[in-house]
Amino acid sequence: MYARALLVLLAVLNLGVGAWWWAHAPASSRAAAAEVAGVAALQLASERSTEAAPAAAAPVPLPEDAACIALGPFGDATSAARAQTQLAPQVLTSRLVERAAGTVRGWRVLVPPQPTRAEADAVAARIAAAGFSDLFVLRQGADTNAVALGLYQAEATARRRAGALAAAGFDARAEPVGTTLEPWLEIALPAGADAAPLATLAAVPRAEPTACDPLR
């Protein structure tokens, strides 16, 4: 009985020594030992080298001599998006925009309509608590449950107001009053490319030169 107990004790000691050696020996030593035994080497999670994720492809810069054209107006945003997809193989880059049509009578600042009146009231309360005044919740019309934040004659003043609210964490925006917004598609083409066929393909009446900077 004592002999059997001694054998068990020796076996436990051997296992303990082996585990200690495996934990403290260099990875190369463990790999070599495993190769001798004919088994795959174990590797601690801390020793696994993290493979570098493939770098995202950098956007191709727009050539300095690129020609930038605005196509529009489209009947609706869906038509504009469809044309953007259709023309993608033929242009360098593109973006969807909205342009004001009509005579601008002024500018307004507002937070877009909220799902419910209670949510609109809560947004208005947070804006007031942040130190902003001249605001109220619209209760009727197309912008029901929007938070109106002022009406201005000058665009610059409206944009400053919207910028201050945005900096405070509110989804405020400046919009022209007295106009409608029309969907347009701005595209960049290689120098010398003819935009007329693309306007025909997109089924829009106009193709106008536009600035390239927003497309870069």
List, for residues 10-42, the tens digit of each pLDDT value: 555 565 555 555 555 555 554 454 444 444 545
Residue holding tokens 């495993």?
34
Q: What is the pLDDT of residues 101-154, one digit of tens each?
A: 888 889 999 999 999 999 999 999 999 999 999 999 999 998 999 999 999 999
Q: What is the pTM of this model?
A: 0.48
Q: What is the pLDDT of residue 157?
A: 95
Query: Structurally, what CATH architecture does the domain formed by 67-102+180-215 represent?
Result: 2-Layer Sandwich (3.30)
Q: Which of 153, 176, 172 is nearest to 164 (CA)?
A: 172
Phi-psi region of 37 (alpha: psi -120 to 50; beta: other; left: phi over 0): alpha
Does the structure show a pLDDT above 80 at 91? Answer: yes
Report how far residue 69's alpha carbon sits from residue 215's, in angstroms, rounded to the nearest whole number: 10
The full set of domain ranges for the chain reads 2-43, 67-102+180-215, 106-177
Q: Where are the alpha helices (DSSP H) in the chain?
A: 2-24, 27-37, 77-87, 117-129, 155-167, 196-202
Q: Do domains 67-102+180-215 and 106-177 have the same CATH topology?
A: yes
pLDDT, position 10: 56
The Cα 152–Cα 173 span in angstroms is 13
Sequence-distant (6+) residues with CB within 8 A of 80 are: 72, 74, 96, 183, 184, 185
Reported as a pLDDT band with limits 50, 70 and 90, residue 6 is: low
Give the whole-angstrom CA distance, residue 85 versus residue 96.
11
Fold of 106-177: Alpha-Beta Plaits (3.30.70)
